[in-house]
Amino acid sequence: MPKVLDNVQIGPLTWKMKVEIPRLVAKAKAGQFVIIRVNEEGERVPMSIAGLDKENGALTIVYQVVGKTSALMTTVPAGGELSDCVGPLGMPSHVENWGTACVIGGGIGIAPIYPIAQAYKEAGNKLITIIGARSKELLFYEEEHKAVADEQYVCTDDGSYGHHGFVSDVLKKLLDDGVKIGMIMAIGPVPMMRVVSNLTKQYNTPTWVSLNPLMIDGTGMCGGCRVSIDGETKFACVDGPDFDGHKVDFDLLTRRLSAYHEQEREAMKRFLTDPGCRLAKDVENFSYPD
């Protein structure tokens, strides 16, 4: 079973886990994902790859507590184990030298955009990085990104740090200023990816987004991760997770992500009211993301 090397809190509801799984790490590329299962009763959850330590055969995932499984993940100590971690799944992100490339990470998306930023940089691009979150304490990885980026912009929705505004506001300014960007890759909450895609469509700037629908096997077998791209149904697990943002049906993605809200709430409630739950205090201010 894959060993958890480290599992630390890096924000109010954000955690970073490092998992030792050398064979997977040796094969994984930026943009791919893994599916983990915490324990025998656990669900299979897709997790974007947020870092690959090839030397130590370790994989980094960054996750936000949004429900029972992510809450349960926080309880796995360093030295503990996950039931399973399978991958690398999905197609790697397309990487080439476009001259100037821009990566945009919103909220938890700041993590998985990081290996892609590295790959873009390694391919010779001038790299513009835009990261943003609702407020200062939800930001992370600022230094990591800074080390890779040629130009970096940090913003918060509430203005508590960096630019006051959305990542799309910063991007719009760059585009309006005539900065020529060959490729944009945006990862974050669905509304953010939608806004960025709608914006760049007006500027005719190619934009990729990484989609995160619900899935089970991750190999094309279940079809649960159906997304609509230019009116055609695709399976995000094998055809994606990256798609042309200008062609994605974001409404459908949003709706399908909400399929189990009721059950998810029930599971979380049960988990938090379990007398053995040490986490209840940590997440007492827990509120469900919209």
Q: Check binding of 81 to another protein (CB under 8 A).
A: no
Q: Which two tokens stand for residue 232?
A: 């055609």
Of 24 and 108, which has the nearer Cβ to another protein? 24
Residues 6+ apart with CB under 8 A from 259: 214
Q: Check binding of 84 to another protein (CB under 8 A).
A: yes
Residues 203-262 that bind another protein (CB under 8 A): 216-224, 226, 228, 233, 238, 252, 255-256, 258-260
Q: Check binding of 270 to another protein (CB under 8 A).
A: yes
Rounded distance, CA 236 to CA 242, Å?
A: 8
Residue 91 CB, shortest distance to another protein, in Å, is 10
Q: Check binding of 277 to another protein (CB under 8 A).
A: no
Residue 83 CB, shortest distance to another protein, in Å, is 7
Q: Check binding of 88 to another protein (CB under 8 A).
A: yes
Out of 96, 122, 244, 266, the only residue in the binding site for another protein (CB under 8 A) is 266
Q: Which strand (E) or helix (H) includes residue 81?
A: none
Q: Which of 180, 10, 177, 162 is nearest to 102 (CA)?
A: 180
Rounded distance, CA 165 to CA 77, Å?
A: 36
Rounded distance, CA 141 to CA 62, Å?
A: 10
Q: Check binding of 87 to another protein (CB under 8 A).
A: yes
Rounded distance, CA 142 to CA 105, Å?
A: 11
Tally of CB atoms within 10 A around 151 = 13
Rounded distance, CA 130 to CA 167, Å?
A: 6
Q: Check binding of 157 to another protein (CB under 8 A).
A: no
Residue 279 CB, shortest distance to another protein, in Å, is 15
Residue 29 CB, shortest distance to another protein, in Å, is 11
Rounded distance, CA 129 to CA 37, Å?
A: 32
The site map against another protein for 89-128 (x = CB under 8 A) is x---------------------------------------
Of 137 and 217, which has the nearer Cβ to another protein? 217
Residues 42-71 that bind another protein (CB under 8 A): 42-44, 68-69
Spatial contact of 226 and 233, defined as CB atoms under 8 Å apart: yes
Spatial contact of 286 and 277, defined as CB atoms under 8 Å apart: no
Please report, as ranges, the residues that interact with another protein according to CB under 8 A. Answer: 23-24, 27, 37, 41-44, 68-69, 83-89, 216-224, 226, 228, 233, 238, 252, 255-256, 258-260, 263-264, 266-267, 270
